[in-house]
Amino acid sequence: MIAALALVAGVVAGLILRPTVPGALEPYLPIAVVAALDAVFGGVRARLDGIFDSKVFVVSFISNVIVAALIVFLGDKLGVGAQLSTAVVVVLGIRIFSNAAAIRRHLFRA
């Protein structure tokens, strides 16, 4: 409940502030998005499993973003940034999908 409200509050804050993404951070935006979605789905799944933990939730989100960003940053320096960015998105995308599948199993028992 708190999480949902805070999520909405974050959306509203973003809509009000309308921050511009600096050019230097632009390549990391897709990574941040998939990491955020991964954290949401992982959190919801853990909540349904009854093992949700706030520390794990926050730390996993932030560390996922940072690690993914570092990988892509390193890739940018070595000239494979776009490919690594795709790799990160694919890995996190698979996680999102299977988490969504687990949530579906929880909710619909199917």
Q: Cβ closer to another protein: 49 or 83?
A: 49
Q: Which stretch binds another protein (CB under 8 A): 7-15, 70-78, 81-89?
A: 7-15
| CA separation for the pair 24, 6 (Å, rounded) | 28
109 counts as binding another protein under rule CB under 8 A: no
Candidates 27, 32, 71, 73; binder of another protein (CB under 8 A) is 32
CB 94 within 8 A of CB 103: no
> Alpha-carbon dihedral of residues 107, 91, 66, 31, nearest 10 degrees?
-90
Cβ proximity to another protein, 74 vs 101, nearer residue? 101
* Dist. CA 42–CA 26, nearest whole Å: 25
Residue type, 96: I
Q: Which stretch binds another protein (CB under 8 A): 17-25, 71-79, 81-89?
A: 17-25
* 103 scored as a contact of another protein (CB under 8 A): no
DSSP character at residue 52: -
Which whole-number Å values give the CA distances from 32 to 50, 70, 90, 105, 107, in the listed order? 26, 12, 13, 27, 27
Residues 40-69 contacting another protein, CB under 8 A: 40, 42-43, 45-46, 48-62
Q: Using CB under 8 A as the criterion, which residues of the chain lie in contact with another protein when the complex forms?
A: 2-11, 13-15, 18-21, 26, 29-30, 32-33, 36-37, 39-40, 42-43, 45-46, 48-62, 91, 94-99, 102, 106
